[in-house]
Structure 1
Amino acid sequence: MSRIVLGVSGGIAAYKSCLLLRRLTEAGHEVEVVPTANALNFVGATTWAALSGRPVHSGVFEAGELVNHVRIGREADLVLVAPATADLLARAASGRADDLLTNVLLTAHCPVVFAPAMHTEMWQHAATRSNVATLRSRGAVVLEPAIGRLTGPDSGPGRLPEPADIEASALAVLADPSVGALMAAQDLAGRTVVISAGGTREHLDPVRFIGNSSSGLMGVALARAAVQRGARVTLVAANLATEPPAAVDVVDVGSTAELAAAMDVHAAAADLVVMAAAPADYTVTAPSPVKLKKSGDAGLNLELVQTTDVLAGLAGHRPPHQVLVGFAAETAADPAELRALGQAKLARKGCQLLVLNDVSGGAVFGAEENQVTIIDADGEVATAAGSKTTVAHAILSASEAVRKRLAS
């Protein structure tokens, strides 16, 4: 069980942190909430205490015998501030210690993650950008805010990411501090990344289709990880079973043909392309324009043809600087057979990396965790396991290693 400090600063988005707190406690973590005085104007201490099951302190001089201004930060495995307002970021960047939360930030020896929330003008102001850069230079993780509806009628960048997104990024940092270092360094800044996710559908008629079990969770995790490491990300989404992450451009597609067309357009100028989607291998020759009816005990005969090979098509016109990553869902008797299947597919498809999932028994699909084998064109093999966000960071790091080799 990890000890997490959830800092809450004074913004309307504090209500979302109640949901974040519930997610963290239900995942088995011990969470101590440290709200600022202004945060308590939005959500009261009673709510935080009830949801966390722990006393809530917000003042430096409360429970002085516990020396909370030092103890809380020292005992934490992770400090997560959500929402982090413009004022809180400014005080943290300047090293202020004028309330309990900023004292905690100064005494913490663990990873620190900020999830900003503020109006667009505040987020884009030169002072805030400078404060964010300062915090990142010190190793803190500052997540990119979402783009969407803000307080009042206005919209734009500055919206607090959804609790599930914040949780996934924060717990990836908790599981592996090196992930936090990459996010703080923004090692993918300036990169254009295109990721496909989900499973395509080939319609038999207006209501029925041939599909597969892909949920899109892995592709969404890759998009989340890439944007939090500084990349510009386009997510080509095929029938996702989950919401896309914050701060990515989403292109919705349905069929394999639509997926292929969208990837051709968006991958052309990308530095990294990840084909995490699961395209249907077959489509109906002549889908019915009206709903097919049952006819007695007669069956249904379908004529199927192969769909476009999206990954091979992308490899066929890959720019020299681009890294292309494919995915393969295989069933194998043992790891050796799995690697052999992967090496053959990598050579056949022409990509630089292939991520292998052993889906024997229906594993992986819709699960929060994953275990993959990553193979490159030189036959090098690596493995990654954990949450899909943790695995996503491992895939991105492997891709960066390939990019550096191509550039040398």
Structure 2
Amino acid sequence: MLATKRILLIIGGGIAAYKSLDLIRRLKERGASVRVIMTAAAQHFVTPLAAGALSHERVFTELFDREAEHDIGHIRLSREADLIIVAPATADLMAKMAHGLADDLASAVLLASDKPVLVAPAMNPLMWSHAATRRNAAQLAADGVAFIGPNAGAMAERGEDGPGRMAEPMEIVEAAERLLAASGPLKGRHVLVTSGPTHEPIDPVRYIANRSSGKQGHAIAAAAARAGAQVTLVSGPVNLPDPAGVDVRHVESARDMLAAVEAALPADAAIFAAAVADWRAASEAGEKLKKDGNAIPPLMLTENPDILATVAHLSNRRPRLVVGFAAETQNVVAYAQAKRARKGCDWIVANDVSQHSGIAGGVMGGDSNAVHLITAEGVEHWPEASKAAVAEKLIARVAASLGPLGAAE
């Protein structure tokens, strides 16, 4: 969500300013460009040289700068940003914002901007709890300013503890992604995603499963959330954290997954990335099957419900866009094309999960993928990329296919 975004970071004067240097790095890791404004007080804690070295941009410090203000630099800075982050936001800076003061570069830029603003307060607990600060924070929230933190914990002052610590850099990054997602291309859309394997019990101890890690499905759910969608993720058993901003329904078996998917409908788009087990035991043993030296007990299998085909053939609650996945070990494109026709879905994302796929570490459980997107128009061959990058590309295609909310459906 932050790739190609232009972030204007205003660093206020507080000991937490050192965290803002790490924040610059975290934002740039995600593809954002970062410009920095530092207040006079901020420069007592960190230097413009350090901020400039990390941002690879000139750092702005003065309202009446002959070089910057020949073209009304404070107006330009406010207009060219996609998002303004104030971190740390001191009590003084928040008071200026709440009352519309503009006596330095930071406050003038904030007053001259119509872009979203994210504030990360940082101050002594008594300053944060003071009635004046609480009034200012309430006024800023009413004005549409977004807040992250402050967190509770030990202060720089010896023996001081309580709410007032600036949020950690990654917390601020995630809040920035959520704020930008509020105006993303999937705003107002509901996207349903399935992910991970299913576990089909044989007895209370054993089950049938596969090697799916859920990394691709979880990446798709996270990308959809960053694009502004309301996301429901139906996840089989995985060792992954729930993506931020996503409604996650945890399930075990294919039948559980189908029930959760049906309960989550209606949706604008449904992306079935889960590796659902094709078969389950015809009957689950009530006790652990014991190895007692006699004949091996037979394992009778029965077919699991076909979740993709079930949803794709719904008459009244079918999502506008139904996307399936095909994990193949041979004839990848041909098998995927046949699967798309057989299942009745709109798109199939196919990949080679064999040992000869060429993906370092393998696709199942690995961090990279190389896929083929099969649609009614033909086949697109996407080169190897991280699963996060594949997810971003797929969600961009989903958004383009659905179009803006309110357009002719």
Q: TM-score, normalised by structure 1?
A: 0.63
Shift of 1:396: 1.8
Q: Give SS of 1:234's match.
A: strand
Deviation per CA, 1:244-294: give whole Å up to 9, x if none.
111111111111100000001112x11111111111111112222223333
- Does 2:143 align with 1:127? yes
| Inter-partner Cα distance in structure 2 for 1:264 and 1:349 | 17
Pick one of 287, 300, 304 that aligns with 1:303: 300
Does 193-202 or 367-376 show the bigger shift? 367-376
The Cα shift of 1:85 comes to 6.1
SS in 1 for 2:211: coil
Aligned twin of 2:313: 316
CA change 1:193–1:79 in 2 (3 A) is closer
Question: CA deviation digits over 1:174-201, x for unaligned, max 9?
Answer: xxxxxx9xx5851111111111111111
Cα pair 1:115 1:166 within 8 Å, conserved: no
Number of equivalences: 355
Instruction: Determine if contact 1:374/1:383 at 8 Å carries over to the other structure.
Output: yes
255-264 vs 12-21, greater mean Cα deviation: 12-21
Give yes or no for contact 2:270–2:319 (8 Å, CA) kept in 1.
no
Task: Output the amino acid matched with 1:276.
Answer: A
- Alpha-carbon distance in 2 for matches of 1:161, 1:276: 32
The equivalent position to 2:284 in structure 1, one of 283, 287, 298, is 287
Matches within 5 A, 1:143-222: 151=151, 163=170, 166=173, 185-222=183-220
With over 3 angstroms needed to count, the CA separation of the structure-2 counterparts of 1:270 and 1:84, relative to structure 1, is: farther
Question: Does the CA-based 8 Å contact 1:35-1:101 persist in structure 2?
Answer: no
1:58–1:101 CA contact under 8 A, matched in 2 = no
Contact 2:26 2:173 in 1 (8 A): no
Q: Measure how far apart 1:326 and its partner are.
A: 0.9
Q: Partner letter of residue 369 of structure 2?
A: N
Please report how far the alpha carbon of residue 375 of structure 1 lies from its aligned counterpart in structure 2 after TM superposition. Answer: 1.3
- Which residue of the partner structure matches residue 344 of structure 1? 338
Tell me the equivalent position of 2:268.
Answer: 271
Deviation at 1:393, TM superposition (A): 2.2
- Name the CA distance, whole Å, in 2 between partners of 1:285 and 1:252: 23
The amino acid that maps onto 2:392 is H
- Structure 2 Cα separation of the partners of residues 101 and 301 of structure 1: 75
* C-alpha distance after superposition, 1:137-161 (max 9, x if no partner): xxxxxxxx99xx98469xxxxx979
Contact 1:321 1:407 in 2 (8 A): no
Cα distance in 1 between the residues matched to 2:185 and 2:10: 28
Instruction: Give the % identical residues.
Output: 35
- Residues 117, 278 of structure 1: CA spacing in aligned structure 2 closer, same or farther, 3 A cutoff? farther
Distance in 1, Cα, partners of 2:306 & 2:327:
15
| Residue-by-residue CA offset, 1:161-181 (whole Å, 9 max, x unaligned) | 9949958x98xxxxxxxxx9x
Root-mean-square deviation over aligned CA pairs: 5.7
CA distance in 1, matches of 2:18, 2:204: 41
CA distance in 2, matches of 1:7, 1:200: 44
> Partners of 1:225 and 1:266 in 2: how far apart?
19
Confirm or deny: 8 A CA contact 2:120 2:150 kept in the other structure: no
Tell me the distance in 2 between the aligned counterparts of 1:166 and 1:38: 24
Asked if the contact 1:13–1:160 (Cα under 8 Å) also holds between the matched residues in 2, the reply is: no
1:16-35 matches, within 5 Å, as none
Give the structure with the larger helix fraction.
1
Residue 360 of structure 1 aligns to a residue whose secondary structure is coil
Shift of 1:80: 10
Q: Which of 274-283 and 6-15 deviates more? A: 6-15
Change (3 A) 1:263 1:113: same
Alignment-derived partner of residue 252 in structure 2: 254
Question: Is the CA contact 2:40–2:61 (under 8 Å) kept in the aligned structure 1?
Answer: no
Among residues 220, 223, 226, which one is paired with 2:221 in the alignment? 223
CA shift at 1:25, angstroms? 10
- Please state whether the residue corresponding to 2:340 is helix, strand or coil: helix
Q: CA separation of 1:299/1:232 partners in 2, compared to 1, >3 Å: closer, same or farther?
A: same
Bigger Cα Rg: 2
TM-score normalised by the chain length of structure 2 = 0.63
Structure 2 CA distance for partners of 1:290 and 1:275, relative to 1, 3 Å: same
Counterpart CA distance in 2 for 1:12 and 1:252 is: 42
Give yes or no for contact 2:322–2:347 (8 Å, CA) kept in 1. Answer: yes
Distance (Å, rounded) in 2 between the aligned partners of 1:20 and 1:199: 35
- Are the counterparts in 1 of residues 35 and 59 from structure 2 also a CA contact under 8 Å? no
Alpha-carbon contact 1:13-1:117 (below 8 Å) kept: no
Q: Which residue of 2 aligns with 1:373?
A: 372
- CA separation in 2, counterparts of 1:298 and 1:38? 80
